[in-house]
A and B are shown apart, each in its own frame.
Chain A
């Protein structure tokens, strides 16, 4: 997601989504997995991608 820069920022967005889907207690229970996913997203944001690079699914 454009403009994200920290793991905490991304984590908060994922946490809010989890809370909406499954409730506060379950989102809290999944805190470690949500944080790991946030770390993965931030890792992928650290690599520059040429604007004309399209995904190739198959």
Chain B
């Protein structure tokens, strides 16, 4: 029998539903795997052994009673340590929040528990989900960054400690670590997943992200946690779609628009060649591929995104920062300081440009289902002082459109490479159809040597 800790979300949930594996066995397998590897990988901020086993026993009892246990019954999951968990420390990788214990669950935590998932613990985040690196190592090679800010979420899923984790993305904090660690990362449309109970970086740019090992698993998790939430002023009011159904009906090749311009220039030669070869494979398999041009406002996207992020981070941290400035890491401290000195007029100009980019971007999708770029300019850097380059993911966080990264191969140094697919706002179903088709066509599953 396949080792339980190596199974994905869908397979684990099926085993539990069919009573072929018990939630307690699964939780124990994931705990043992996590405890065996975590001194090296450092993916966990808090591993809640006691709470997870208690939840698994409750799930098992409910199964024995024949109760409706939910679509994720018995599936262990990790939550980035900026996501509120009632009674469980949420330190945000920060000395400022070192002893913070929320009194309530984030909406995503509540929805996961309602779906039967078992919170195994809190995964390591960079400080307040920004740029100061965390101690987490890349399971492919511990000399390389796993990316950030959802460092522990990506590393734990890649290392088969858990089948799924939640992260967040303001610039590139879900897709980049997912790509660096060789797994699937999804950022849905802005507002599709509630941010209530998630410590913010930037209210207008923050998304909750999903880190898993297959497109189907991403769809399952999004169905469980997505949807309207009156507690989140940015939440979409439209109901979620049938994402798992979209994955099941993904036999039609998608129409793919390939972005060159900025992306070809910024990517390293190996990534550029690998992406071109991957696009050729997709085209040979039937995808309708065409080159697509970026809209004029793309020229301002990265500058506007950074200004908004700095000012909103400064606004959130202003009071704490005034009292405890020395407890902040150097990169976050600088982000806040730059936000504090940025004039309000320039912040609002960046916001207006963001809307212009959103409006112009819609036209780019006229004849294509998805856009395609490399997920990152290069594989994970062999450098633990950085979390990598967010420039390939940040434009889509800025626009609030849904994106997904799929593993597509390994570099000559044995580090994962990925492709990023981008869809129009609220088009998660076409994104899932395209991603599932690409995943099946490429047939790439990456397992790190740990």
Residues of A within 8 A of B (CB): 1-2, 13-14, 17-18, 21-22, 30, 33-34, 36-37, 39-41, 43-47, 49, 53-58
Contacting residues, chain B, for A58 (C-beta < 8 A): 190-191, 204, 233-234
Nearest residue, chain B, Cβ from A53: B352
Q: In the bound complex, what is the Cα–Cα distance between A53 and B348 (angstroms)? A: 11
Cross-interface CB contact of A47 among B307, B310, B343, B356, cutoff 8 Å: B356
Cross-interface CB contact of A49 among B234, B299, B349, cutoff 8 Å: B349
Main DSSP-derived SS at the B contact region: helix
Contacting residues, chain B, for A21 (C-beta < 8 A): 340-341
Q: In the bound complex, what is the Cα–Cα distance between A43 and B303 (angstroms)? A: 7
Main DSSP-derived SS at the A contact region: helix
Contacting residues, chain A, for B340 (C-beta < 8 A): 21
- A17-B341, A18-B341 as given contacts; A44 in contact with B346, CB under 8 Å: yes
Q: In the bound complex, what is the Cα–Cα distance between A17 and B314 (angstroms)? A: 15
Q: Are A46 and B355 in contact (CB under 8 A)?
A: no
Scan B333-351; emit 1 where CB is below 8 A from any A CB, else 0: 0100110111101101111
Q: Are B351 and A41 in contact (CB under 8 A)?
A: no
Contacts A44-B350, A49-B349, A58-B190 known; list 11 others, CB within 8 Å.
A1-B346, A14-B342, A33-B337, A33-B338, A37-B307, A40-B307, A45-B349, A53-B355, A55-B355, A56-B351, A57-B234
Q: Are A37 and B338 in contact (CB under 8 A)?
A: yes
Cross-interface CB contact of B341 among A37, A46, A49, A54, cutoff 8 Å: A37
Q: How large is the interface on B (under 10, 10 to 19, 20 to 34, 35 or more residues)?
A: 20 to 34
Q: Are A2 and B343 in contact (CB under 8 A)?
A: no
Q: Are B338 and A44 in contact (CB under 8 A)?
A: no
Contacting residues, chain A, for B190 (C-beta < 8 A): 58
B317 at the binding interface (Cβ < 8 Å):
no
Cross-interface CB contact of A44 among B203, B310, B337, B353, cutoff 8 Å: B353
Q: In the bound complex, what is the Cα–Cα distance between A44 and B345 (angstroms)? A: 11
B306 at the binding interface (Cβ < 8 Å):
yes
Contacting residues, chain B, for A2 (C-beta < 8 A): 345
Q: Are A34 and B341 in contact (CB under 8 A)?
A: yes
Distance between A22 CB and nearest chain B CB, rounded to angstroms? 8
Distance between A15 CB and nearest chain B CB, rounded to angstroms? 9
Contacting residues, chain B, for A39 (C-beta < 8 A): 303
Distance between B209 CB and nearest chain A CB, rounded to angstroms? 18
Q: Are B341 and A55 in contact (CB under 8 A)?
A: no
Q: Are B352 and A55 in contact (CB under 8 A)?
A: yes
Q: In the bound complex, what is the Cα–Cα distance between A2 and B348 (angstroms)? A: 12
Q: Are A47 and B204 in contact (CB under 8 A)?
A: no
Between A and B, 6 residue pairs with Cβ closer than 8 Å are A37-B342, A45-B349, A49-B349, A53-B352, A54-B355, A57-B203
Distance between B298 CB and nearest chain A CB, rounded to angstroms? 10
Residues of B within 8 A of A (CB): 190-191, 203-204, 233-234, 296-297, 299-300, 303-304, 306-307, 310, 334, 337-338, 340-343, 345-346, 348-356, 358
Counting chain A CB atoms within 10 Å of each CB, the highest count among B307, B345, B352 belongs to: B352
Distance between A30 CB and nearest chain B CB, rounded to angstroms? 6
Contacting residues, chain B, for A30 (C-beta < 8 A): 334, 337-338
Distance between A48 CB and nearest chain B CB, rounded to angstroms? 9
Counting chain A CB atoms within 10 Å of each CB, the highest count among B233, B341, B342, B351 belongs to: B341
Distance between B414 CB and nearest chain A CB, rounded to angstroms? 34
Contacting residues, chain B, for A33 (C-beta < 8 A): 334, 337-338
Q: In the bound complex, what is the Cα–Cα distance between A41 and B353 (angstroms)? A: 12
Q: Are B310 and A49 in contact (CB under 8 A)?
A: no
Q: In the bound complex, what is the Cα–Cα distance between A47 and B334 (angstroms)? A: 26
Nearest residue, chain B, Cβ from A32: B334
Among all A-B residue pairs, the 9 with the closest Cβ atoms:
A55-B351, A43-B303, A58-B234, A40-B303, A17-B341, A56-B355, A37-B338, A47-B300, A41-B346
Q: Are A49 and B345 in contact (CB under 8 A)?
A: no
Contacting residues, chain B, for A40 (C-beta < 8 A): 303-304, 306-307
Distance between B403 CB and nearest chain A CB, rounded to angstroms? 19
Contacting residues, chain A, for B297 (C-beta < 8 A): 47
Distance between A7 CB and nearest chain B CB, rounded to angstroms? 12
Distance between B13 CB and nearest chain A CB, rounded to angstroms? 33
- A1-B343, A21-B340 as given contacts; A44 in contact with B351, CB under 8 Å: no
Contacting residues, chain B, for A49 (C-beta < 8 A): 349, 352-353, 356
Contacting residues, chain A, for B334 (C-beta < 8 A): 30, 33
Q: In the bound complex, what is the Cα–Cα distance between A45 and B306 (angstroms)? A: 14
Distance between B189 CB and nearest chain A CB, rounded to angstroms? 12
Cross-interface CB contact of B204 among A18, A46, A57, cutoff 8 Å: A57
Distance between A34 CB and nearest chain B CB, rounded to angstroms? 7
Cross-interface CB contact of B342 among A41, A47, A54, A57, cutoff 8 Å: A41
